[in-house]
Structure 1
């Protein structure tokens, strides 16, 4: 496990991020600032697995759905790791999705609430990511946003047993309660 030391105040780059070999944490860059997150909890991973399965079933052949950790490189100073990402196959390299995803999904943890609700959507909207979903597993709530100009607008939302019915980016029905249920 190696976390290199960086000079205070330096704007970090994608290359700096690639030098970190610690696999116990999630490291992301937003505008050159390093974000560190602890490993996710079982409820978080259950939601990720269910969203992954649901999206994989409706994903078109020219796209791929992958769970974290997959780097999404928006520019030299911004590398994010959505909990679930859908990207066009040609945007994936051996190391990352380079460019704008079709859909980014975040499952909110107490430590990531501000990042998932404000920082990441602002950066993804600025990059032109057409769809962004946020799942609050403790409520449970699913909020589906679509890009309208330069900002996300709420397209659909459901809480508990309610069902979100979407036509875009894919025809899919999701219930927040089903995403968190341990059956």
Structure 2
């Protein structure tokens, strides 16, 4: 039996409205009061996310954690994101969310999320002051990385296949997109 969720129609949504969302395998996020609903990710997407998690977790500095989605990143009362991976200081987490931008947010692009990840989420994380944002394309096996400079994202890397990205933020780690597919 399908449960219908009634959402307010006379105002933009806020984070408290997300509590009414069903536990149905979809990911519910808010960007500036607009509800973004995406389906559960595909197998290849999850493989890439899992390999990135292992790689980053092995390289983290003390006091920093790598967390898998779904986990709330609260940027404002009308904005809650759930990047595929977040890297943040352990002390900054609460049991339910990360209140504020992470040190690094990573999205693995899917056909249903590509445009949102490359525009809306990127812009919102930039405005919130997230120091680094990466997008991984599992089809092209490419990674694009941006870092905040003077409050604006600047692309610092675009690597594909066996090319190497020597990341320095939030800690040193070497990423080779081809290794994320094996």
Normalising by structure 1, report the TM-score. Answer: 0.94
The DSSP-based 3-state class of the residue aligned with 1:11 is coil
The match for 2:112 is 111
The match for 2:15 is 14
The DSSP-based 3-state class of the residue aligned with 1:110 is coil
Distance 1:94 1:2 in 2: 28
Contact 1:3/1:19, CA 8 A, preserved across alignment: no
The match for 1:93 is 94
Contact 1:3/1:22, CA 8 A, preserved across alignment: no
| Long gaps (5+) in structure 1 | none
Report deviation, 1:59: 1.2
Cα gap change, 1:34 to 1:63, in 2 (>3 Å): same
Say what the alpha-carbon RMSD is for the aligned residues: 1.3
When the two structures are aligned, how many residues end up with a matched partner? 181
Q: Which runs of 4+ in 1 moved over 3 A?
A: none
Distance 1:104 1:130 in 2: 9
The match for 1:69 is 70
Distance 2:147 2:24 in 1: 32
The match for 2:82 is 81
Report deviation, 1:8: 2.6
Report deviation, 1:95: 1.0
The DSSP-based 3-state class of the residue aligned with 1:29 is strand
Cα gap change, 1:8 to 1:142, in 2 (>3 Å): same
Normalising by structure 2, report the TM-score. Answer: 0.94
Distance 1:169 1:88 in 2: 10
The match for 2:33 is 32
Report deviation, 1:155: 1.1
Report deviation, 1:30: 0.3
| Long gaps (5+) in structure 2 | none
